[in-house]
């Protein structure tokens, strides 16, 4: 019964999600859905602990009602290597 309620809430965008943004790596994670804020609040500590154990730093947590399209969003762009940077400078631009 509870699972059906969660599905309905999620479908309508009324479910609660734990949004965790980390500075290192620069990512946004969504954990859920939850029927109410209390359940999301209770569950967030496990997610924080897992991310800390994986080496994440600068962790910011928000509980929100939303309907995320993606559960993990990587905000870091791959860095160019020094070779890529130097070779791109030598290419003519037309």
pLDDT confidence of residue 63? 98
Q: Span 17-24, mean pLDDT?
A: 98
- DSSP assignments along 33-86, one per residue: EESSHHHHHHHHHHHHHHHHHTT-BS-EEEEEE---S-SEEE-PPPPPPHHHHH
Any domain includes 13? yes
pLDDT at 86 over 60: no
Q: Span 67-94, mean pLDDT?
A: 65
Any domain includes 63? yes
pLDDT at 2 over 90: no
pLDDT at 77 over 50: yes
pLDDT confidence of residue 60? 98
pLDDT confidence of residue 93? 52
- Domains identified in the chain, total number: 1
Structural domain span for residue 24: 2-89
């Amino acid at each position: 019964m509870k699972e059906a309620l969660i599905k309905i809430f999620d479908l309508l965008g009324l479910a609660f999600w734990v949004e965790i943004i980390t500075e290192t790596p620069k990512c946004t994670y969504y954990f859920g859905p939850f029927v109410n804020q209390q359940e999301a609040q209770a569950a967030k500590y496990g997610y924080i602990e897992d991310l800390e154990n994986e080496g994440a730093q600068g962790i910011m947590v928000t509980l929100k009602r939303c309907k995320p399209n993606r559960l993990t969003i990587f905000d870091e762009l791959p860095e160019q290597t020094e070779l890529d940077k130097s070779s791109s400078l030598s290419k003519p631009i037309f």
